Amino acid sequence: MTESALSSASNALMQKLTGRQLFDRIGRPTRIVAPMVDQSELAWRILSRRYGATLAYTPMLHAKLFATSKKYREDNWSSIDGSSVDRPLIVQFCANDPEYLLAAARLVEDKCDAVDLNLGCPQGIAKKGHYGSFLMEEWDLIHNLINNLHKNLKVPVTAKIRIFDDREKSLNYAKMVLDAGAQFLTVHGRVREQKGQKTGLANWETIKYLRDNLPKETVFFANGNILYPEDITRCMEHIGADAVMSAEGNLYNPGVFNVGQTKDKDKVFPRVDKIIREYFQIVKECQESKASKTAMKSHFFKILRPFLPHHTDIRSTLATMNAKATWEEWEEQIVKPVEIVVQVIFEQPDIEIKDEIIIGEKQSWGGSYRTVPYWRCQPYFRPVNGITGDKRVMQGLTDADINKKRKADMPLESADKKKDIKA
């Protein structure tokens, strides 16, 4: 590095915001759209902000590809990303090479508020590519990845981690990440092996232990077990976190972020026809974002997950759609048919009774399941010992009942449920 470059880097470091300064500057956000592979793209971030999100992360981007491939950048980043309609924003990368990570980060440092290192992805592709949670044992490498950004990037660096089974090891791991220069720390309360049907509950007690034993000035985000807006408040109060991040809960129901609006079911459990229309219009307005149109089909499947089993004709049509379909085809074959079906539902004379949200008994994890009509967005529950959460609500089962079920009873998941989007 030349003397001029060293001087520039030194000046940038001197002027760089600390975690608390950055947190204050971006408005002390408390409800965060998680970084998700191919899922937290521009259009979805805009929609999520309309429904209560106050900070968003980009999808996990591959640092080496972003730094070296123009096509990869064009497929995943547009001039609208990081613009005034897309802030505050943190860009997340996965990486295992400090220099490629720095090169990628420098391409976006003027269009985001911070750059995040993904240390949580548990998927096979992360194992094959040697990144995400598969770096958890390589503390020297992680330290170098973070510290290189901290010393040479204009904007702060942050990190998202998973926990170990051992809480003391988890605490030492978190301390190392902070010592390397991370200004925000997000803790996903699951171990690396908890994924897919083995996801299980996130361990809030370990997250709380980390929060209680890290420096008080640490900007600390919690991630895991968020089904409803009440869970965000409960999580912040129990753990003492500055904010709460949601991944899957947000994907199936953007209304999960509408804390303070819990009595307004149209905001907390929005109708699928309304969300589909609003999201579709946002994607059209963001036509420059290739990632937004590419992700649209997957988002439609998740929004419509409770709806499609009742209207298999729409499900069959949606399965045939792809990013090459015209806007008119998407509207005529998917958006309008959904709107027509829900309109008919709401013309029923007893719709006020049928449209009721029913709150179940308090569960061992501290919250309560809701029974939500299928024409409204709602959480997706991964199978636990063979029965999904929505089934246990309908059957009146508690968590204790579910634990008695045999794993052999586990039903096969439909194709649209198989993709694990947690990063």
For 308-351, the pLDDT digits (tens) are 999 999 999 999 998 789 999 999 999 999 999 999 999 999 99
Q: For the stretch 351-363, what's the b/e string if a residue is b when 16 or more beta carbons lie within 10 angstroms of its beta carbon?
A: eeeebeeeeeeee
Give me the pLDDT at residue 388, please.
Answer: 56
Q: Report how far residue 114's alpha carbon sits from residue 108's, in angstroms, rounded to the nearest whole number.
A: 9
Catalytic residue among 94, 112, 121, 235: 121
Q: Report how far residue 339's alpha carbon sits from residue 334's, in angstroms, rounded to the nearest whole number.
A: 9
* Helix axis angle, 167-180 to 139-152, nearest 10°: 30
* Confidence band of 384 (pLDDT split at 50, 70, 90): low
121 is catalytic: yes
In terms of pLDDT, which residue wins out, 413 or 353? Answer: 353
Longest dimension (CA), the chain: 76
Q: Which of 157-166, 200-209, 227-236 shows the lowest per-residue confidence on average (mean pLDDT)?
A: 200-209
Question: Could you tell me the pTM of the whole model?
Answer: 0.87
Give me the pLDDT at residue 127, please.
Answer: 85
The CATH number of domain 3-268 is 3.40.50.300: no
